[in-house]
Structure 1
Amino acid sequence: MLDILIIGAGPIGLAAGLEAQREGLSYLIVERGCLVNSIYNYPLNMTFFSTSERLEIGGIPFTSLNAKPTRAEALEYYRRVADSADLNINLFEEVQHLQPEDDVYRIFTSKGEYPARNVVVALGFYGIPNLLNVPGEGLPKVRHYYFDPHYYFRQKVVVVGANNSAADAALETWRKGADVTMVVRQPELGSIKYWTKPDLENRIKAGEIKAYFNSSITDIREREIDIQTPEGRLTLENDFVLAMTGYQPNFSFLEKIGVKLSNDEKRYPQYDSETMETNLPRVYLAGVVCGGMDTHVWFIENSREHAVKIIKHIKEEQQAEKV
């Protein structure tokens, strides 16, 4: 019997494990992919907007070569956290369902089942992309994840999006020899790192990266795409589409286990902001999943305190039961 089963081995799931360990609670972290799977899937050359100390968990220092760490440095840090604390983690094991049984939960995974008194859902949002919902989106040339720019050398690449992911993909692939076109729904570029935005704006101004604003892709075919622009429809030759349109939490999993979601497009999950407990007794949310479709609200630096709140509440509940 576990005191806590933690779903997700991202930074906030690890933070919850560290807090549980410090409070002497039995716990298990279960992750469907690799350790900090979302960070692993970030672009190869990605640099965080946050400084290293704001990515720290459990009070364990994170030092990096520069003020803003890279993806590789973050992976190294979280591996060292997991090893130095000897965290109890099962990787490549997916949680499929929770079943309440009296005052405990039975958690069924792809590899077994576990009884636990409390469950912490620390799912990220990087696993389910927001789709374009246009014909041809299922073609192999359409990518919702961008990793390494070398792959696109001498290719005609369309990047969809206006924010950081789109900016990084456009600039990096262009610098590695791609013919890059951006398609942006908005009238201008969005929220982009301050050291990246002027670079992209200058490339667009110089005509080195083409950009269509107030525009959207309407059809994707093997060798070309259609774009609806303010001036009318445009057909371009195309080898790859990088749809950097954002991601969303696994709402179907939350609904499946019984967590209530708002009925509007934001799909906010129901939870107590003081304890992080959901409408399900002893089932807690932590991290970016708390924001519903507003995935920009919660980051590592402002959601790592969720772990502290949760473990504090669980300890208080345990002590109350003993009285």
Structure 2
Amino acid sequence: MENPRMLDLVIIGGGPSGINVGISAERAGLDYVILEKGVIANSLFHFPVNMTFFSTSLKLEIQNTPFISHRDKPTRAEALEYYRRLVGSFKLNIRLYEEVQKMDTLDSGYRIATKKTTYAARNVVVATGFYDTPRLMNIPGEDLPKVRHYYDDPHVYIGQRVLVVGAANSACDAALECYRKGAEVTMAIRGGEIYDRVKYWIKPDIENRIKEGSIKAYFHTTTDEIRPDEVVLGTPDGQITLPNDFVLAMTGYEPNYQLFERLGLAIAEDESCKPLFNPETLETTLPGVYMAGVACAGRQTSKLFIENTRDHGDIIVEGITQQRQLA
């Protein structure tokens, strides 16, 4: 097989951060490609169908390109349209359905292998986000078909006995929507209350539904086992078994650490599990390999967002162009 031509840059991830870096690379005249394992903005595509962002469209804009939405806070559909428009308007070189499998070191860069082909590049940016990788409970029955780590549409759960695991935004949204569409909703919550960071218009709603008994909530409770027709919860008063049709495990998400391992990225040995990188240049311990976007925060998924990582593309591309000039 012939060796692939050497690119200036391979960007792993075709979500908001990868697109952001791609636009910076396009403007700088770099020879680059964006590799995305699924669709454009694959993580956002898996958001709930009826989701509304907490941030305003202005805060979600990247590369000074207006984000037009009908309301102050855009919907999932409007966000997907925005990122599709960015890809088309800037004519970004993006390859979809090309999941990166491994990366090897070359004399002057890296060889990146996907399921379809192989690329070579002097520089690599890892912009994979975290929403594609759910944080598992690691309990018996979690692999049953009735268990969902992504909440999609409440229509699926009409008339069903649904357990929602968690107490953050996604869990509260799912519980309220399913309840209002006619599901029998129970929540299993590790802590003693709904999280403070829940959207301000959602928190009193879910608390009132729990208080009036419309949604049954078990606090200080773990989900211990999932069975085809029931679930086992660990409560302060001991284990209980509830009849159940679906489990919505809204337990959060984390970066794709299996991919990080395949790429050879070094990870902090503390609870953050952050990839190790220079905070000023975003370059990792691998020369010419950079981190971009929310994946920089590791498991601290509430630290970084689209709005406070919008400068990552320009920072990385500026560093790459400076290195080219010095070479």
User: How big is each residue's C-alpha offset from its partner over 1:168-224, in whole Å with a ceiling of 9 and x where there is no partner?
Assistant: 100010011000001000111112111111111111111101111111111211111
Provide the rounded CA distance (Å) in 1 between the counterparts of 2:200 and 2:178: 19
**CA deviation after TM superposition for structure 1 residue 39, in Å:** 0.3
- One-letter amino acid matched to 1:88: N
Say which of 284, 287, 302 aligns to 1:281: 287
Provide the rounded CA distance (Å) in 1 between the counterparts of 2:106 and 2:38: 28
- One-letter amino acid matched to 1:34: V
The residue number in structure 2 matching 1:143 is 148
**CA deviation after TM superposition for structure 1 residue 162, in Å:** 0.8
Alignment of 1:93-112 (within 5 A): 93-112=98-117
What is the SS of the residue equivalent to 2:311? Answer: helix
Q: TM-score, normalised by structure 1?
A: 0.98
**CA deviation after TM superposition for structure 1 residue 256, in Å:** 2.1
- One-letter amino acid matched to 1:151: V
Provide the rounded CA distance (Å) in 1 between the counterparts of 2:323 and 2:71: 43
Q: Does 1:165 align with 2:170?
A: yes
Alignment of 1:70-81 (within 5 A): 70-81=75-86
Percent identity over paired residues = 56
Provide the rounded CA distance (Å) in 2 between the counterparts of 1:136 and 1:5: 39
Provide the rounded CA distance (Å) in 2 between the counterparts of 1:111 and 1:134: 34
- One-letter amino acid matched to 1:213: F
User: How big is each residue's C-alpha offset from its partner over 1:77-106, in whole Å with a ceiling of 9 and x where there is no partner?
Assistant: 111111111111000011111111111211
Say which of 30, 36, 53 aligns to 1:48: 53
The residue number in structure 2 matching 1:244 is 250
Provide the rounded CA distance (Å) in 2 between the counterparts of 1:274 and 1:241: 42
The residue number in structure 2 matching 1:319 is 325
- One-letter amino acid matched to 1:128: T
What is the SS of the residue equivalent to 1:267? Answer: coil
Root-mean-square deviation (CA), in Å?
0.9
- One-letter amino acid matched to 2:147: V
What is the SS of the residue equivalent to 1:75? Answer: helix
Q: Does 1:201 align with 2:207?
A: yes
The residue number in structure 2 matching 1:156 is 161
Q: Does 1:309 align with 2:315?
A: yes
Provide the rounded CA distance (Å) in 2 between the counterparts of 1:95 and 1:233: 43
Provide the rounded CA distance (Å) in 1 between the counterparts of 2:276 and 2:231: 41
Provide the rounded CA distance (Å) in 1 between the counterparts of 2:224 and 2:112: 43
The residue number in structure 1 matching 2:220 is 214
The residue number in structure 2 matching 1:18 is 23
User: How big is each residue's C-alpha offset from its partner over 1:114-133, in whole Å with a ceiling of 9 and x where there is no partner?
Assistant: 11111001011122211112
Q: Does 1:65 align with 2:70?
A: yes
**CA deviation after TM superposition for structure 1 residue 264, in Å:** 2.7
- One-letter amino acid matched to 1:223: D
Q: Does 1:267 align with 2:283?
A: no
Provide the rounded CA distance (Å) in 2 between the counterparts of 1:28 and 1:114: 9
CA contact (8 A) 2:188 2:219 kept: yes
- One-letter amino acid matched to 2:215: I
CA contact (8 A) 2:126 2:291 kept: yes
Provide the rounded CA distance (Å) in 2 between the counterparts of 1:267 and 1:183: 26
Provide the rounded CA distance (Å) in 1 between the counterparts of 2:314 and 2:192: 41
CA contact (8 A) 2:128 2:295 kept: yes
Provide the rounded CA distance (Å) in 1 between the counterparts of 2:57 and 2:172: 22
**CA deviation after TM superposition for structure 1 residue 232, in Å:** 2.1
The residue number in structure 1 matching 2:234 is 228
Q: Where does structure 2 lack aligned partners over 5 or more consecutive residues?
A: 1-5
Provide the rounded CA distance (Å) in 1 between the counterparts of 2:149 and 2:212: 27
Number of aligned residue pairs: 321
**CA deviation after TM superposition for structure 1 residue 43, in Å:** 0.3
CA contact (8 A) 2:225 2:232 kept: yes
**CA deviation after TM superposition for structure 1 residue 263, in Å:** 2.0
CA contact (8 A) 2:101 2:262 kept: no
- One-letter amino acid matched to 1:181: T
